[in-house]
Structure 1
Amino acid sequence: MIIQKESVVPEETGWRIWWQLSRPHTLTAAFVPVLLGTALAIKSVPIHISLFVAMLVASLLIQTATNMFNEYFDYARGLDNENSVGIGGAIVRNGVKPKTVLGLGFLLFGISLILGIYISMSSSWWIAVVGLISMAVGYFYTGGPKPIAYTPFGELMSGFFMGVVIIQISYFIQTGNISKISILVSIPVSILIGSIMLANNIRDLDGDQENGRKTLAIIIGREKAIGLLASMFILSYSWIIFLIFFTETSFWLLITFISIPKALKAVKGFIGKTEPIQMMPAMKATAQTNTIFGFLMAIGLFISYFS
């Protein structure tokens, strides 16, 4: 089946080109962990707003730069065309020069590096080391001779670095330490961030397979990948119950269960679908699940501290 360009992937104009290039639906995966790490710190120390803002902006810029590297390298490898579903499309549909996209990605990395220096000077230079590793993972996710995104480890790497690592950094720069609870709270968020990548790979399974990728969805097959996605959602919500009963966290974290309908919509949206455009609503619902879950978790923490 050939998807017509005008019915699925219309060209953008003006500022919308750059907005789409940033892939805004992915940016909450950078915002939510910073918010949660900071929310956890509120119980222990007064929050340094400037560090919070610097960390937030740096995380968003690194995520945006990673998306731009993704756009550039997928184009350079011939994996994207004007009818591809789910991409920013600045190069293949809107005529932005590939070198412009690549250069903009490095520019955003440079700004993030400056912010990282400020954060490190205000906390610890170990933050600079972890930040540079995270930036390297962002680049090599789709760059380099063996991109991470083309392997079965994409979900694990994205979940770990954007979930566990960002939450710990956000917590550490406020408190000066890492706690057991900050690690435990990061687990369900990491799983949900990984689920976004899994959903993306389920949607792109056929095209990725044709291009020689070995993603987790390809290795285990579409049906098992959908089952795995459902299991990841179940584990995330089950982890909340674990936190409530076996740690010092409050019953207010149950507020995250309000996001369950979105998770159900995501799983149901993949079942029986084979065309990428048919699975876009499910992909969107997966990202929304992470966003709503993370915001509600932060709200639950805030309420528990001040009630």
Structure 2
Amino acid sequence: MRVTTRLRQLLAGPELVVAPGAYDALSARLIAQAGFSAVYMTGFGTSASVLGMPDVGLLTMSEMVSRAAALAAVTGEVPLIADADTGYGNPLNVRRTVREYERAGVAGLHIEDQVWPKKCGHMEGKQVIPMEEMVQKVRAAVEARQDPDFVIIARTDAAAVLGFEEALRRGRAYREAGADVIFIEAPRTMEELRAIVQAFPDVPLLFNWAQSGKTPPLSVNEIRELGFKLVLFPVALLFTATHAMLRLLEGLKQGETPTAFADQSVSFQQFTELVGLPFIQELEARYGVRQEATPQPHQS
């Protein structure tokens, strides 16, 4: 089964789809191995891991596609949903963006109605393009996909700029333009969350669970009961890993060694197993790959 078809089945099924955010191939591999039904490629985390910089529109389309291909290569049969920012230009650019993400092995993507360069949806100072312009981008995305099961997610950031009612109006227009999933970014209250569900009956809706963000941090059960179909945890792994690294670095500065953090770490063997070394060793044995001898020091 194609990953696109698998994602569509998940979105049409009875269960809430939980997709933790991956910021590199390692985190994507761990999410898939943990048994999640989908993986999300976070643009926020990608900007941090590729550039070491914030999510303010600094990454190019080709850089995002390259990272998406690396993630898709390790997630296997688990569908990968990817951030595609604004589509990187006008509707013609959006057409190419969709084709490139499809070739990279992505099962679905989301595009947003921000002005480029965009910002993280939970940052201040966002701007949005006219609704009609985004409608054409959604139309272009839908028409560009070569696999009819490739999922197009339309995101609007209008709530923070033009008000919540405008965000709902835009969501309806994007759905009419052919979007498969609607993503109203950064609702601030339970009342707004309920209004989103009421405004889009029988439409798959995305809940973006961003730590320290503007949306109430609901439990998974609460999100399910509200009626959302897909929940992203875009920065959970990134923030947790960053916290662990900062603690270790502070310990090293104070004269400690990694031994003091052994209970918060994996072993060498555990890590190599997680990244697939046993499979590589099986392949070496199958193909008779010769192990290179360790060079010996020159004897004079």
TM-score (norm 2): 0.27
The structure showing larger relative contact order (alpha-carbon pairs under 8 Å, at least 6 residues apart) is 1
Larger Rg, first or second structure (1 or 2): 2
Structure showing the higher helix proportion among its residues = 1
Structure showing the higher strand proportion among its residues = 2
TM-score (norm 1): 0.26
